[in-house]
Amino acid sequence: MQKMKWNKKKVPIFPFIVLLLLVFIAFSTLHNGSTIHKFHENPLHIHQEQASSTTYVKPNLPNHLKKSQEILDRYSRCNSTVGYSGRKIARRGGSKSSSNRRVSSESCDVFSGKWVFDNASYPLYNESDCPYMSDQLACNKHGRTDLGYQHWRWQPHDCDLKRWNVKEMWEKLRGKRLMFVGDSLNRGQWISMVCLLQSEIPADKRSMSPNAHLTIFRAEEYNATVEFLWAPLLAESNSDDPVNHRLDERIIRPDSVLKHASLWEHADILVFNTYLWWRQGPVKLLWTDEENGACEELDGRGAMELAMGAWADWVSSKVDPLKKRVFFVTMSPTHLWSREWNPESEGNCYGEKKPIDVESYWGSGSDLPTMSSVENILSSLNSKVSVLNVTQLSEYRKDGHPSIFRKFWEPLRPEQLSNPSSYSDCIHWCLPGVPDTWNELLFHFL
């Protein structure tokens, strides 16, 4: 029986508060919601009772849906909250663990390499040529004039990446549904993919559906779609509204992926991510068999492990690797403290114009214990999931974030304007930019 390693975890409080604050600032600028996030109510202390034993719970898949089952939404509340009971998800089917590497056919590690300045072949598209560009990511449009960030090419140490070819990508997608599922970082990768692909299709032969839980780009002549499903926590949660999800507490159904799986299960190629939303403090768990609305509380990493367990159960029981490709994108790094790459400095990514060139640089935003639990879960799925391990290569790109050069949804106050790093977005990525490389990696493995 595995020990719950999240119990009694000591969190260094001060840097944790700063991280929460910065993450909060960036997230709160994401949407023009009218709710004010009551930040100070986020409990910072994690107090779980030591679980005496582990109970395994069967995950709840679409065909097990009880009619009475209430779907979580942003109005859902916990009736009461107790400590985590230690329940875990029982995985059906699926061989438990084998040391087979997923990218085993690949002799070269394409995720290990360096950034090379290449203004001859990059960017792969122009920001202003993409009608589907997001105002959160269009850095040049919002005043960024140093455009070096668009000109870097990822060069693996021991081989070359397959060269991006838009026609070849469309041929791979012919008659298929490609779906990105996850949070705003994954949405950025989806927008990058649409921008990379759209120029091939005449304007009257393509369309984009309105922004919704599921948003769909269609290309008629290829009978193909490139879709984005908003599911920041993968599991069903109270934050699944694509616009209004700024809530005081996060509630998930750890044993349920049903709300989302019914939408993603028919896609041919799936690209998942999840990470940053688990870094905002404790999460409330509402198990599907809980009838009185009583929640359990667990720290973010533990809750992420539960949600990924339910997701992994879906993969192992539903994915036929001959018919469906599934990718998981590892955590996207943040650059919130410049002292990590430039000791004694006090800023963040604001003003950064060049990548970090220290081999293996790793910032504190990319949580190693999370990475290793992700690796454990993915390795138990063997060949059913391919990893896009973008963390290390993106760690180098302190220059790649929008900082102040994006649309902010709430008016900026004078004290913010006088101190640009105070409202810089060092979480998302400018386009064209780093997510284009994530998509080149996807192309490489398709």
Ligand X SMILES: *[C@@H]1O[C@H](CO)[C@@H](O)[C@H](O)[C@H]1NC(C)=O
Annotated catalytic residue: which of 183, 240, 425, 436?
425
End-to-end CA distance of the chain: 38
Place of tokens 């900082």: 403
- Least distance CB 14 / ligand X (angstroms): 27
Judged by CB under 6 A, the residue of 392, 416, 420, 446 near ligand X is 392
HSE, CB side, 13 Å, CA atoms: give it for residue 238: 16
- The β-bridge relationship of strands 113-117 and 224-230 is unpaired
Q: Which of residues 221-280 bind ligand X (CB under 6 A)?
A: 223
C-beta closer to ligand X: residue 51 or 367: 367
Annotated catalytic residue: which of 299, 399, 428, 436?
428
Among 227, 364, 240, 363, which Cα is nearest to 307's?
240
The conformation of residue 214, written as its DSSP 8-state character, comes to E
The site for ligand X, by CB under 6 A, has a size of 23
Q: Which residues pair with 151 in a beta bridge?
A: none
335 is catalytic: no
Among 263, 284, 244, which Cα is nearest to 48's?
284
371 binds ligand X (CB under 6 A): yes
Judged by CB under 6 A, the residue of 60, 330, 332, 380 near ligand X is 330
Q: What is the 3-state secondary structure (H, E, C) of 357-389?
A: CCCCCCCCCCCHHHHHHHHHHHHCCHHHCEEEC
360 is catalytic: no
Place of tokens 């490609």: 178
338 is catalytic: no
CA–CA distance, 1 with 213 (Å, rounded to integer):
38
CA–CA distance, 223 with 240 (Å, rounded to integer):
28
30 binds ligand X (CB under 6 A): no
Q: Which of residues 167-186 bind ligand X (CB under 6 A)?
A: 175, 177
119 binds ligand X (CB under 6 A): yes
- The pair of structure tokens assigned to 179 is 């779906």
97 binds ligand X (CB under 6 A): no
C-beta closer to ligand X: residue 7 or 380: 380
Coil, strand or helix at 318 = helix
C-beta closer to ligand X: residue 261 or 331: 331
Give the nearest residue (CB) to ligand X: 293
Annotated catalytic residue: which of 184, 316, 373, 424?
184
Judged by CB under 6 A, the residue of 52, 63, 145, 292 near ligand X is 292
Active site residues: 184, 425, 428
Residues within the interface to ligand X (CB under 6 A):
32, 34, 79, 111, 119, 125-126, 129, 175, 177, 223, 292-293, 330, 371, 374-375, 378, 387, 389, 391-392, 409
